[in-house]
Chain A
Amino acid sequence: MADETSIKINYLAALTAGLWRENPTFRLLIGMCPPLAVTTAVKPALTMGLSVIFVLVCSNLAISLMRNLLKPHLRIIMFTLSIAAFVTICDLYLRAFQPVMSEILGAYVPLIIVNCIIIFRAEACASKTNAWASILDGIGSGTGFTIALCIIAGIREVLASGTLAGFTVMPRGFVPWAAMQMPVGAFVTLGLLLGLASVLTRKRKN
């Protein structure tokens, strides 16, 4: 009985770790390209986040199933190849059913292949644990990443065009900050949010 509960707690931990404790963007600082590149508005950011969740869950599952067959020196190339296969599926799906989003995201969808989050999760979790825990870990990390993307995109969209996910939220007479739409806005917003995250962590520790 005692064993069963401890396993259950582990599953729960695997699911929630990615949300804040090991949040890829705010805490681990990995996979920093998409949070900067696709966050001009909420909708593309959400699409990107969902694509990453899909790829992360599938590749975690595949790698976890073949973890006993992997030779150490060939491991990274096997990770990358399986990730590339799932990203291709995702890219074709977006092109067929979400052509507008596919146009906006452009080359950043195939760039999920070299996103450090996915290789990091494969190395740190999927190549060591069983299939269920790796799926939950993928969902957790992916959700944490999606939330981070949406926060950044929300701030930038509200300030840059006065809308949130397409709906107008700012009062009339609001002057849009054009800089938030540009690369400057991305870097500075993420920098300030990281600073805020570190302030929060330090407060909790004290």
Chain B
Amino acid sequence: MSQIKASFELNGTLIGQSDPVAIKISEFILDMDNPSITSATRTLAAGSDILIPCAQGAGVDHYLYIRNTGTNGAMTGTGKVVIKDDHPSAVREISELEVGDFLFIPVIGHASDGGIEVFYDTAATNYVYAYFRRI
């Protein structure tokens, strides 16, 4: 078993709201184990990529990070990364990352279906991702 530390912040002021946004999580420890992918880069020019395969099994959950890094990874371009759950049946879109966007989510494992797949949308783009099996 290994541990990694996660930190997250959102700060700013929204028009018309008196209270500022001040979300802060400092070095929350995540217990995880292999299989994991510490860092990976992919070009999404057509079709789709399976990141976390289906049918990992109930209780086999993962922390997933994805970021759309744009054309050549330079944070430019217009291509989106569409994230879907459940391959190959009953695919549902969950999220869509514009260039620069990222996501971090604990993904639940399923016994018979469920997985994470990313799809090409409007233009080629690059993304980086990592995942870690949660304990």
- Is this pair of chains taken from one and the same complex? no
Interface of B with A (CB < 8 Å)? none
